[in-house]
Amino acid sequence: MQKSVLVIGSEGQIGTELCDALGVQGNRVIRADIRLQTDEAKLHYQLDATDKEAIERIVEEHDIEVVYLMAAMLSATAEKHPQKAWELNMQSLLHVLDLAKEKKIKKLFWPSSIAIFGPDTPKKNTPQETVIHPSTVYGISKRAGEMWCAYYHSVFGVDVRSLRYPGIISYKTAPGGGTTDYAIEIFKSAKGQGRYTSFIEAQTITPMIYMSDAITATIALMEAPVESITVRTSYNLDGLAVSPQKLEEEIKRHLPDFKVDYATDYRQAIAASWPESINDELARSDWGYTIYTDFQRLVQEMLTHIE
Ligand code: SER
């Protein structure tokens, strides 16, 4: 059935591809982002995600049923602008949660992240419920957001759903300010200069998924019947175990002269504080989370498409 959906952060790495996928499914997609968009054929608003009245105007004007709040300041940038990160990541969420509480929208998606986990969390097969002491501003905002989601669900009955995304690898829209961004830059450099200087150590593993799997998971979660949703903080999602060294080895099978050298910076400590693999049993059993794109295929796709 056609729905009117609002995607806030529509011009970002995930937002752009999510809008396309929601459109293909027959939804009426309204895009909003702080950045202006050049494609006039698309219904688009310039929006500051911390402006509740502006969000509300769009929701009312278009009879929006579902909101995807994808605007956020990511981990590396947030370390440089803690106050701004907190304001953006929290205010935007509280605004849309309130709209749901006031019954102005029916359903809400909000992404959390593997960044909620900290250095004292079990690194392998990280459980859904475990020690959660995030060591970054971004991680703190995501964990706090998870608790707000659970609170609005239990106290006000808000249907808010969330995923703890692994790092997301894609070629259509560049990410900005994340720690896992290296896993995208490396492909650009491989095809361009044939060399890449990594700010993450060779053997630091973080879970990552290909964008199409992230989008499929997001839509599957949002379409699942309400009674199948048993997690109202945010679902653990595992990914492929990716490190700079693994990427270098696989890229070399296509481009034998490719070379990576290392100049790590503050982002290394961030990546090292995150898990290597995640227990995502609940996502699999509750609504069928599946990874369709394996590591070899991901590398091949990235090398084919990235510019
Ligand atoms: N990929 C994000 C980042 O690196 C984590 O959610 O900030």
For residue range 64-123, list pLDDT tens digits in order. Answer: 999 999 999 999 999 999 999 999 999 999 999 999 999 999 999 999 999 999 999 999
pLDDT of 72 reads: 97
Do 40 and 100 have their domain in common?
Answer: yes
142 and 73 share a domain? yes
- pTM greater than 0.95 (yes/no): yes
pLDDT of residue 163: 99
Q: State the pLDDT at residue 43.
A: 82
Model confidence at 42: pLDDT above 80: no
pLDDT of residue 240: 98
- Residue 217 structural domain: 4-167+208-236
| CATH for 40 | 3.40.50.720
- The yes-or-no verdict on residue 37 having pLDDT over 80 is no
> Does residue 210 surpass a pLDDT of 80?
yes
Digit-coded pLDDT (tens) for 254-281: 999 999 999 999 999 999 999 999 999 9
Ligand 1 neighbour 166 (Cβ under 6 A): no
- Say if CB 22 and CB 29 are below 8 A apart: yes
φ, ψ for residue 244, nearest 5 deg:
-55, -40
**Ligand 1 atom nearest to 167, measured from its CA:** 1
CB of residue 217 inside a 6 A radius of ligand 1: no
How many Å lie between the centroid of ligand 1 and the Cα of residue 179?
A: 5
Give 254: exposed, middle or buried? Use CB within 10 Å, 0-12, 13-18, 19+: middle
**Does 38 score more than 90 pLDDT?**
no
Residues 78 and 38 in one domain: yes
Q: Is 115 in the pocket of ligand 1 (CB under 6 A)?
A: yes
Q: Are residues 78 and 215 in the same domain?
A: yes
Residues 96 and 197 in one domain: no
| Alpha-carbon gap, residue 222 to 2, rounded angstroms | 14
Compute, in angstroms, the gap from residue 165 CA to the centroid of ligand 1. 8
Q: Assess whether the C-beta atom of 165 lies below 6 angstroms from ligand 1.
A: yes
Dist. CA 54–CA 36, nearest whole Å: 15
What integer pLDDT is reported at residue 278 of this predicted model? Answer: 98
Residue 14 shares a structural domain with residue 104: yes
Query: Looking at the structure, do residues 192 and 123 belong to the same domain, yes or no?
Result: no
Q: What is the mean pLDDT of the chain?
A: 97
> Residue 113 CA: which ligand 1 atom is closest?
6
Nearest-angstrom CA–CA distance, 190 and 5: 37
Range 138-166 average pLDDT = 98
- Nearest alpha carbon to residue 140 among 69, 72, 237: 72
**What are the catalytic residues?**
138
Considering the chain, what percentage of its residues have pLDDT values greater than 90? 95
Instruction: Among 112, 180, 199, name the best residue to mutate to test ligand 1's pocket (greatest count of ligand atoms within 8 A of Cβ).
Output: 180
Q: Are residues 27 and 75 in the same domain?
A: yes
3/37: higher pLDDT: 3
Residue 210 alpha carbon to ligand 1 centre in Å:
14
> What are the b/e assignments for 57-93, b being 16+ CB within 10 Å?
ebbeeeebbbbbbbbbbbbbbbbeeeeebbebbbebb
Among the atoms of ligand 1, which is closest to the Cα of residue 270?
4
Q: In this predicted structure, what is the pLDDT of residue 153? A: 98
pLDDT of residue 78: 98
Shared domain for 161 and 101, answered yes or no, is: yes
Q: Are residues 159 and 262 in the same domain?
A: no
Q: Is 9 in the pocket of ligand 1 (CB under 6 A)?
A: no
Ligand 1 pocket test: pick from 13, 14, 75, 237 the residue with the most ligand atoms within 8 Å of its Cβ: 75
Q: Are residues 90 and 214 in the same domain?
A: yes
CA–centroid distance, residue 271 to ligand 1 (Å):
9
Q: Residue 260's domain is classified under what CATH number?
A: 3.90.25
Instruction: Please tell me the total count of domains within the chain.
Output: 2
Distance between Cα 244 and ligand 1 center (Å): 16
* pLDDT, tens digit, 9 for 90 and up, residues 220-255: 999 999 999 999 999 999 999 999 999 999 999 999
pLDDT of residue 105: 98
Both 160 and 254 in one domain: the answer is no
Distance CA 63, CA 28 (A): 10
